[in-house]
């Protein structure tokens, strides 16, 4: 197991927490100086907050831990490619690297639909590493949505 896979395993554990709470199973951790300084998993339904994405919660946690609004030198590990909102927060927080598992072809903003984090018009750009534990990260999402569809079909 390489270093990225080792850290992504922690993000995956966060995704499992979301799954157990009937949230879309996305998890994130932020690593700075070889330790986790922020964690998060989706809490949109629980908090009734459309901004309660795993990445946003992890960023809030990390800046509180390091005591700075800047996360320069830190790496975000997230199981699903960040959306436009999260990509904006990644740029604004000055994260150095984003490592993600599964691509999000519908709303991904770090290479699939858009690439906000590397847009040369912005004042900060982020290194990207993609496809880490991609199959495992995709499977938990597919399983979640399959069960959700089955539940919805039973209710109709």
82 neighbors 90 (Cβ within 8 angstroms): yes
pLDDT in tens, 45-89: 999 999 999 999 999 999 999 999 999 999 999 999 999 999 999
Residue 98 has a CB neighbour count (10 Å cut-off) of 25
Q: Which residues are part of the catalytic machinery? A: 55
State yes or no: pLDDT of 144 exceeds 80: yes
Total-model pTM:
0.95
State yes or no: pLDDT of 154 exceeds 90: no
d(Cα 100, Cα 46) in Å, to the nearest integer?
24
pLDDT in tens, 65-75: 999 999 999 99
């Amino acid at each position: 197991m390489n270093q990225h896979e080792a850290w992504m395993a922690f993000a995956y554990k966060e995704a499992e927490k979301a799954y157990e709470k009937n949230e879309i199973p996305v998890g994130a951790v932020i690593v700075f100086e070889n330790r986790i300084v922020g964690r998060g998993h989706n809490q949109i339904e629980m908090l009734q907050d459309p901004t309660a994405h795993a990445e946003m919660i992890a960023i809030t946690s990390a800046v509180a831990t390091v005591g700075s609004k800047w996360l320069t030198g830190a790496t975000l590990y997230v199981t699903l490619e960040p959306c436009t909102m999260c990509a904006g927060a990644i740029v604004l927080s000055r994260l150095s690297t984003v490592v993600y598992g599964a691509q999000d072809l519908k709303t991904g903003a770090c290479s699939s639909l858009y690439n906000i984090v590397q847009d040369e018009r912005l004042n900060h750009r982020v290194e990207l590493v993609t496809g880490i534990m991609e199959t495992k990260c995709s499977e938990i999402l597919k399983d979640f949505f399959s069960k959700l569809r089955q539940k919805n079909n039973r209710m109709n």
